[in-house]
Amino acid sequence: MKYIYEIFIILAYLSAQPLRIFSSKTNLFFEGRRNALKILREEVNPSDKNIWFHVASLGEFEIAKPIIESLKSKIDDLKIIITFFSPSGLENSKDYMFADSMVYLPIDLSANAKKFIKIVNPKVAVFIKNDIWSNYLFYLKQNNSLIYSVSSKFYKSQFYFKFYGIWFLEKLRNINYFYVQDIDSKNILENYSLKNISISGDSRFSSVIKTLEENKSIEKIEKFIDNKKCLIAGSVWEKDINIINKVVLENKTKSIIAPHDITSNFIKKLENLYGNNAVKFSCLNSKGDFNKKILIIDSIGSLKHIYKYGYVSYIGGGMSNNGLHNILEAAVFSCPVIIGKNYKGFTEAEELLKLGGVYSVKDSDEFSKVFSMLDDSALRNKSGKINFNYILKSVKKNSKIINSLIENLH
């Protein structure tokens, strides 16, 4: 099975090469990996107290950040090595001050994994969510590194638990500690005799509490909103735009739209769609600009602070297969949240839907109905309070991971 797995990895790697011509992101995926091992040799001392965090992309990195920063504050000589699978993660995180080295993860071939582990020699390795790679697990175990799976979520339908996934399931047995998101994941792993499983939730809860405590004000945003009701539409894709358009164009409420894709092509589409009703954040200067109805955020990094100005927030990704984006960044500000129809597998969305802090819609009419319904201040405040209390309760679970890591790193 090992050889079949490696052949599959190689074929997938080769077959994706032509896409480099059409996609700068795909090109970065390959170019970034070219010198990853060389960079690590220059930046990492295998004799240091190294801990390796692997994340798929930006969302997973947000989960890792509170853990990394807590460990750095408590262990003076700790070195943090972070690897990313996706360019959108690494390219938007290069200024992260708590990392001692950040590179793309070399593809999961036996030779790559063996070299990587020899160079880094991590005392502990932490895989965030389910971006777990079999060859890396094997060589970590050979290196006597402790392995953590953090904020992971497991389903009976996953390939690990099918007859053809036995080889991958055996690799999961190399993991020393599982910190899963929910009781279902814990039960599934225990049914397959996996051990050391705790429910810890998601460390993004700590991250959004930190954003709340920072209470950062953005003067231009405040001037644009001018104490009016404002819809914040965060991390939206084209299908999300179609859902919210009726409200954005016809309602008197101001709207701030932050697309997930801030490339010039998508921003231009939004400008063409909204015409004179809209202004880009980068162009927000004159009195006429501040009087416009729609603000398009054309930069990265400010959205998590913008949510505090929301009357209601819509979080994108749930109308397609792109994956629902982070609803916690809005929820922490006691704001009701509306999402699309595809939210299965996102624990916080599933739970907050049941509690009444989050609302799911499948089309434009449903969005308009829910948005109008939340004009009731009592309902809006109740939903917002549900969201905030849910985050406070979840933060307390995250100390389990940090305490365990501290114990094993000393």
Neighbours of 257 (CB within 10 A): 25
Burial of 193 (0-12, 13-18, 19+ CB in 10 A): exposed
Work out the angle at residue 27's Cα, subtended by the Cα atoms of residues 25 and 28, and round it to the nearest 5 degrees.
65
Provide DSSP, 323-376. Answer: ----SHHHHTTT--EEE-S--TT-HHHHHHHHHTSEEE-SSHHHHHHHHHHTTS
How far apart CA 346 and CA 52 sit, in angstroms, is 25
Domains present along the chain, CATH in parentheses: 2-200 (3.40.50.11720), 213-395 (3.40.50.2000)
Q: Which residues contact 132 (CB under 8 A, 6 or more apart)?
A: 149, 152, 171, 172, 175
Beta strand extents in 134-193 (DSSP E only) = 146-152, 177-180
Whether 276 contacts 397, CB under 8 Å = no
Residue in this structure with the two tokens 């084209």, named with its chain if needed: 238
Q: Strand, coil or helix: what is 18?
A: helix
Q: Cα separation of 222 and 227, whole Å?
A: 7
Q: Of 67, 136, 150, 139, nearest to 106 (Cα)?
A: 136
Amino acid at 333: F
Q: What is the pLDDT along the chain (410 residues), one digit of tens a residue?
A: 877 888 888 888 788 888 777 777 787 888 889 899 999 999 999 999 999 999 999 889 988 998 999 899 999 899 999 999 998 889 888 889 999 999 999 999 999 999 999 999 999 999 999 999 999 999 999 999 999 999 899 999 999 999 889 999 999 999 999 999 889 999 999 999 999 999 886 677 878 888 999 999 999 999 999 999 999 999 999 999 999 999 999 988 999 999 998 888 899 999 999 999 999 999 999 889 999 999 999 988 899 999 999 999 999 999 987 789 999 999 999 999 999 999 988 889 999 999 999 999 999 999 999 999 999 999 999 999 999 999 988 876 667 888 899 999 97
Calculate the alpha carbon distances from 216 to 27, 66, 190 in Å.
36, 18, 43
Q: Strands, E, within 62-137: which ranges?
A: 78-84, 101-104, 124-128
- Residues paired with residue 149 on neighbouring β-strands, in sequence order: 127, 178
Nearest in space to 58 (alpha carbons), one of 303, 344, 338, 307: 303
* CB distance 398 to 205 below 8 Å: yes
